[in-house]
Amino acid sequence: MSSQITTGFVQQYSANVQMLSQQMGSRLRDAVRIENVIGKNAFIDQIGVATAQLRTSRNADTPQIDTPHGRRRLSLADYEYADLIDDQDKVRMLVDPTSSYAQAAAAAMGRAMDDVIIAAATGTASTGETGSGSATLDATANSVGSASSNDGLTVAKLTEAKRKLDLADVDPSIPRYIAVGPKQIEDLLGTTQVTSSDFNTVKALVSGDVDTFMGFRFVMSNRLAVSATDVRTCFVWAEDGLTLGMGKDISARIDERADKGYATQVYYCMSIGAVRMEENKVCQIFCDETPD
Protein backbone atom coordinates (compact mmCIF):
# COMPACT_ATOMS: atom_id res chain seq x y z
CA MET A 1 0.00 0.00 0.00
CA SER A 2 1.32 3.41 -0.91
CA SER A 3 2.58 5.49 2.00
CA GLN A 4 1.09 8.52 0.26
CA ILE A 5 -2.49 7.31 0.45
CA THR A 6 -3.17 9.50 3.48
CA THR A 7 -3.11 12.52 1.16
CA GLY A 8 -6.30 11.18 -0.36
CA PHE A 9 -8.16 11.08 2.92
CA VAL A 10 -11.11 13.47 3.01
CA GLN A 11 -11.36 15.84 5.96
CA GLN A 12 -14.91 16.29 7.12
CA TYR A 13 -16.11 19.55 8.66
CA SER A 14 -19.30 20.33 10.46
CA ALA A 15 -21.75 22.29 8.39
CA ASN A 16 -22.72 24.39 11.39
CA VAL A 17 -21.08 26.42 14.12
CA GLN A 18 -22.06 25.07 17.54
CA MET A 19 -22.72 27.51 20.37
CA LEU A 20 -21.06 26.55 23.64
CA SER A 21 -23.20 26.36 26.79
CA GLN A 22 -24.18 29.82 27.92
CA GLN A 23 -27.19 31.80 29.07
CA MET A 24 -28.97 32.82 25.90
CA GLY A 25 -30.43 36.26 26.53
CA SER A 26 -32.05 37.88 29.55
CA ARG A 27 -34.06 35.84 32.04
CA LEU A 28 -35.18 38.76 34.19
CA ARG A 29 -36.35 41.32 31.64
CA ASP A 30 -39.92 40.04 31.56
CA ALA A 31 -40.12 39.96 35.36
CA VAL A 32 -39.65 43.69 36.00
CA ARG A 33 -41.39 46.94 35.11
CA ILE A 34 -40.16 48.56 31.88
CA GLU A 35 -39.80 52.33 31.60
CA ASN A 36 -38.85 54.08 28.34
CA VAL A 37 -36.23 56.73 29.06
CA ILE A 38 -35.12 59.80 27.10
CA GLY A 39 -31.92 61.39 28.36
CA LYS A 40 -29.19 60.24 30.70
CA ASN A 41 -31.29 59.99 33.86
CA ALA A 42 -34.94 59.29 34.59
CA PHE A 43 -36.77 60.31 37.76
CA ILE A 44 -39.72 58.20 38.80
CA ASP A 45 -42.08 59.84 41.29
CA GLN A 46 -43.82 57.89 44.04
CA ILE A 47 -46.80 58.47 46.32
CA GLY A 48 -46.44 57.31 49.92
CA VAL A 49 -48.92 56.18 52.58
CA ALA A 50 -51.49 58.77 53.65
CA THR A 51 -53.85 58.58 56.64
CA ALA A 52 -57.53 59.60 56.57
CA GLN A 53 -58.60 62.04 59.28
CA LEU A 54 -61.62 61.33 61.47
CA ARG A 55 -64.40 63.92 61.20
CA THR A 56 -65.49 64.85 64.72
CA SER A 57 -68.06 67.65 64.23
CA ARG A 58 -70.54 69.08 61.78
CA ASN A 59 -69.50 71.90 59.44
CA ALA A 60 -65.87 71.40 60.38
CA ASP A 61 -63.08 72.75 58.21
CA THR A 62 -61.96 70.52 55.37
CA PRO A 63 -58.74 68.81 56.49
CA GLN A 64 -55.63 69.33 54.40
CA ILE A 65 -53.55 66.19 54.23
CA ASP A 66 -49.93 66.41 53.08
CA THR A 67 -49.62 63.45 50.75
CA PRO A 68 -46.10 62.03 51.08
CA HIS A 69 -44.02 61.92 47.91
CA GLY A 70 -40.86 60.05 46.99
CA ARG A 71 -38.58 59.83 43.97
CA ARG A 72 -36.11 57.34 42.53
CA ARG A 73 -33.39 58.09 40.00
CA LEU A 74 -32.52 55.70 37.22
CA SER A 75 -29.26 56.27 35.29
CA LEU A 76 -28.57 54.85 31.85
CA ALA A 77 -25.33 53.19 30.79
CA ASP A 78 -24.29 52.20 27.28
CA TYR A 79 -23.27 48.67 26.32
CA GLU A 80 -21.64 47.56 23.06
CA TYR A 81 -20.46 44.36 21.38
CA ALA A 82 -18.66 44.11 18.05
CA ASP A 83 -16.59 41.55 16.20
CA LEU A 84 -15.16 41.31 12.70
CA ILE A 85 -15.33 38.38 10.28
CA ASP A 86 -13.02 38.43 7.27
CA ASP A 87 -14.23 36.89 4.03
CA GLN A 88 -11.15 34.68 4.20
CA ASP A 89 -12.38 33.37 7.57
CA LYS A 90 -15.62 32.26 5.94
CA VAL A 91 -13.70 30.39 3.27
CA ARG A 92 -11.45 28.65 5.80
CA MET A 93 -14.40 27.64 7.97
CA LEU A 94 -16.46 26.47 4.96
CA VAL A 95 -19.49 28.09 6.63
CA ASP A 96 -20.68 31.63 7.18
CA PRO A 97 -20.39 32.27 10.95
CA THR A 98 -22.20 35.62 10.85
CA SER A 99 -25.45 34.29 12.30
CA SER A 100 -23.62 32.51 15.12
CA TYR A 101 -21.71 35.70 15.96
CA ALA A 102 -25.04 37.55 16.08
CA GLN A 103 -26.45 34.93 18.45
CA ALA A 104 -23.41 35.27 20.69
CA ALA A 105 -23.73 39.06 20.69
CA ALA A 106 -27.44 38.99 21.51
CA ALA A 107 -26.81 36.51 24.33
CA ALA A 108 -24.06 38.73 25.76
CA MET A 109 -26.42 41.72 25.75
CA GLY A 110 -29.10 39.74 27.54
CA ARG A 111 -26.68 38.64 30.24
CA ALA A 112 -25.51 42.22 30.72
CA MET A 113 -29.14 43.26 31.15
CA ASP A 114 -29.61 40.65 33.89
CA ASP A 115 -26.46 41.89 35.64
CA VAL A 116 -27.89 45.42 35.71
CA ILE A 117 -31.21 44.22 37.15
CA ILE A 118 -29.53 42.04 39.79
CA ALA A 119 -27.26 44.89 40.89
CA ALA A 120 -30.26 47.21 41.22
CA ALA A 121 -32.30 44.66 43.16
CA THR A 122 -29.87 44.27 46.06
CA GLY A 123 -27.69 47.38 45.71
CA THR A 124 -28.09 51.02 46.71
CA ALA A 125 -30.96 52.96 45.12
CA SER A 126 -30.68 56.67 44.33
CA THR A 127 -33.50 58.65 45.97
CA GLY A 128 -34.69 62.21 46.54
CA GLU A 129 -35.47 65.17 44.32
CA THR A 130 -32.11 65.08 42.54
CA GLY A 131 -31.22 61.46 43.20
CA SER A 132 -28.53 62.44 45.70
CA GLY A 133 -30.06 60.37 48.50
CA SER A 134 -29.69 56.63 48.93
CA ALA A 135 -31.66 53.64 50.15
CA THR A 136 -30.42 50.15 50.95
CA LEU A 137 -32.05 46.88 51.89
CA ASP A 138 -32.41 46.54 55.65
CA ALA A 139 -30.56 43.57 57.15
CA THR A 140 -33.68 42.62 59.10
CA ALA A 141 -36.78 43.97 57.38
CA ASN A 142 -35.67 43.13 53.82
CA SER A 143 -33.51 40.06 54.38
CA VAL A 144 -33.90 36.40 55.24
CA GLY A 145 -30.85 34.76 56.79
CA SER A 146 -27.50 36.50 56.86
CA ALA A 147 -24.35 36.86 54.80
CA SER A 148 -22.81 34.20 57.07
CA SER A 149 -25.75 31.86 56.52
CA ASN A 150 -24.99 28.18 57.06
CA ASP A 151 -28.07 26.67 55.43
CA GLY A 152 -29.51 26.60 51.94
CA LEU A 153 -32.92 27.56 50.59
CA THR A 154 -35.72 26.06 52.67
CA VAL A 155 -39.50 26.22 52.69
CA ALA A 156 -39.20 28.15 55.95
CA LYS A 157 -37.09 30.83 54.23
CA LEU A 158 -39.61 31.14 51.41
CA THR A 159 -42.41 31.41 53.96
CA GLU A 160 -40.56 34.17 55.81
CA ALA A 161 -39.88 36.09 52.59
CA LYS A 162 -43.56 35.88 51.64
CA ARG A 163 -44.55 37.05 55.11
CA LYS A 164 -42.28 40.10 54.83
CA LEU A 165 -43.93 41.15 51.56
CA ASP A 166 -47.40 40.53 52.99
CA LEU A 167 -46.66 42.49 56.18
CA ALA A 168 -45.63 45.45 54.01
CA ASP A 169 -49.01 45.27 52.22
CA VAL A 170 -47.36 44.52 48.88
CA ASP A 171 -50.27 44.07 46.46
CA PRO A 172 -50.77 40.28 46.15
CA SER A 173 -52.25 40.72 42.66
CA ILE A 174 -48.86 41.90 41.35
CA PRO A 175 -46.78 38.92 40.10
CA ARG A 176 -44.02 37.86 42.49
CA TYR A 177 -40.72 36.29 41.47
CA ILE A 178 -37.68 34.68 43.03
CA ALA A 179 -34.21 34.51 41.47
CA VAL A 180 -32.22 31.45 42.54
CA GLY A 181 -29.28 29.30 41.45
CA PRO A 182 -29.47 25.56 40.66
CA LYS A 183 -28.31 24.64 44.19
CA GLN A 184 -31.37 26.30 45.74
CA ILE A 185 -33.77 24.02 43.85
CA GLU A 186 -31.74 21.06 45.02
CA ASP A 187 -31.97 22.40 48.58
CA LEU A 188 -35.74 22.64 48.39
CA LEU A 189 -36.05 19.08 47.16
CA GLY A 190 -33.90 17.90 50.05
CA THR A 191 -35.81 19.76 52.77
CA THR A 192 -39.33 18.58 51.96
CA GLN A 193 -40.73 15.24 53.07
CA VAL A 194 -41.62 12.55 50.52
CA THR A 195 -45.15 12.40 51.91
CA SER A 196 -45.77 16.15 51.74
CA SER A 197 -47.55 18.00 48.97
CA ASP A 198 -44.57 20.37 48.86
CA PHE A 199 -42.31 17.56 47.71
CA ASN A 200 -44.42 16.81 44.63
CA THR A 201 -44.57 20.50 43.75
CA VAL A 202 -40.79 20.90 44.07
CA LYS A 203 -40.24 17.76 41.97
CA ALA A 204 -42.38 19.34 39.26
CA LEU A 205 -40.35 22.55 39.67
CA VAL A 206 -37.11 20.64 39.13
CA SER A 207 -38.43 18.85 36.05
CA GLY A 208 -39.77 22.08 34.58
CA ASP A 209 -43.42 21.02 34.68
CA VAL A 210 -44.25 24.05 36.84
CA ASP A 211 -42.35 27.25 37.57
CA THR A 212 -44.25 28.54 40.60
CA PHE A 213 -44.05 27.58 44.27
CA MET A 214 -45.56 29.36 47.28
CA GLY A 215 -46.71 32.22 45.08
CA PHE A 216 -43.25 32.92 43.62
CA ARG A 217 -42.35 32.30 40.01
CA PHE A 218 -38.84 30.86 39.95
CA VAL A 219 -36.19 32.34 37.67
CA MET A 220 -32.96 30.36 37.45
CA SER A 221 -29.75 32.39 37.21
CA ASN A 222 -26.08 31.60 37.69
CA ARG A 223 -25.30 35.31 37.75
CA LEU A 224 -26.40 35.92 41.33
CA ALA A 225 -23.56 37.00 43.60
CA VAL A 226 -21.74 34.33 45.64
CA SER A 227 -19.55 35.44 48.54
CA ALA A 228 -16.09 34.16 49.39
CA THR A 229 -17.75 31.95 51.99
CA ASP A 230 -20.02 30.31 49.37
CA VAL A 231 -23.19 32.19 50.31
CA ARG A 232 -25.38 33.09 47.33
CA THR A 233 -27.60 36.17 47.48
CA CYS A 234 -30.99 35.20 46.06
CA PHE A 235 -33.95 37.55 46.18
CA VAL A 236 -37.72 37.73 45.82
CA TRP A 237 -39.54 40.74 44.40
CA ALA A 238 -42.86 42.06 43.20
CA GLU A 239 -42.78 42.87 39.49
CA ASP A 240 -43.27 46.60 40.03
CA GLY A 241 -40.59 46.66 42.72
CA LEU A 242 -37.84 46.82 40.08
CA THR A 243 -37.77 49.13 37.06
CA LEU A 244 -35.65 48.59 33.97
CA GLY A 245 -35.08 51.83 32.06
CA MET A 246 -34.73 51.47 28.30
CA GLY A 247 -32.99 54.40 26.65
CA LYS A 248 -32.22 52.24 23.62
CA ASP A 249 -33.32 48.65 23.35
CA ILE A 250 -30.95 46.00 22.03
CA SER A 251 -30.24 46.80 18.39
CA ALA A 252 -27.99 45.19 15.82
CA ARG A 253 -26.16 46.09 12.64
CA ILE A 254 -24.30 43.68 10.40
CA ASP A 255 -22.34 45.70 7.84
CA GLU A 256 -19.22 45.62 5.70
CA ARG A 257 -16.30 47.67 7.01
CA ALA A 258 -14.44 49.24 4.10
CA ASP A 259 -11.68 50.34 6.47
CA LYS A 260 -11.16 46.71 7.54
CA GLY A 261 -10.72 45.08 4.15
CA TYR A 262 -14.48 44.84 3.73
CA ALA A 263 -14.75 42.47 6.65
CA THR A 264 -18.24 41.88 8.03
CA GLN A 265 -18.82 43.54 11.40
CA VAL A 266 -21.41 42.23 13.81
CA TYR A 267 -22.36 45.13 16.09
CA TYR A 268 -24.85 45.18 18.98
CA CYS A 269 -25.61 47.98 21.42
CA MET A 270 -28.10 49.08 24.06
CA SER A 271 -28.56 51.83 26.66
CA ILE A 272 -30.19 50.68 29.90
CA GLY A 273 -30.35 51.23 33.63
CA ALA A 274 -32.32 49.82 36.55
CA VAL A 275 -33.45 50.88 40.00
CA ARG A 276 -35.21 49.31 42.98
CA MET A 277 -38.46 51.21 43.41
CA GLU A 278 -39.27 50.23 46.98
CA GLU A 279 -37.39 48.29 49.62
CA ASN A 280 -40.58 46.60 50.88
CA LYS A 281 -41.07 44.99 47.47
CA VAL A 282 -37.68 43.24 47.47
CA CYS A 283 -36.32 40.73 49.97
CA GLN A 284 -32.90 39.13 49.70
CA ILE A 285 -32.41 35.52 50.83
CA PHE A 286 -28.94 34.33 51.79
CA CYS A 287 -28.32 30.68 50.89
CA ASP A 288 -25.27 28.61 51.74
CA GLU A 289 -23.67 26.70 48.86
CA THR A 290 -20.71 25.18 50.69
CA PRO A 291 -19.76 21.94 48.85
CA ASP A 292 -20.71 18.77 50.71
pLDDT tens for the 292 residues of the chain, in order: 334 434 444 444 444 555 566 787 889 999 999 999 988 888 888 777 777 888 878 877 777 877 777 888 999 999 998 888 776 655 444 445 567 778 888 889 899 999 999 999 999 999 988 888 999 999 899 999 888 877 889 888 999 999 999 999 999 999 999 999 999 988 887 776 545 677 777 777 777 766 888 889 999 999 999 999 999 999 999 999 999 999 999 888 888 888 888 888 888 899 999 999 999 999 999 999 887 6
Q: What was the pLDDT predicted at 213? A: 86
Domain ranges of the chain: 29-45+69-288
Q: Does domain 29-45+69-288 have CATH number 3.40.50.620?
A: no
Beta bridge partners of 219: 179
Residues 32/58, Cβ–Cβ less than 8 Å:
no
Q: What was the pLDDT predicted at 2? A: 36
Q: What was the pLDDT predicted at 90? A: 55
How many CB atoms lie under 10 A from the CB of residue 276?
28
AA identity, residue 203:
K
d(CA 244, CA 8) in angstroms, rounded, equals 59
Q: What was the pLDDT predicted at 173? A: 94
Q: What was the pLDDT predicted at 69? A: 76
Q: What is the pTM of this model?
A: 0.83
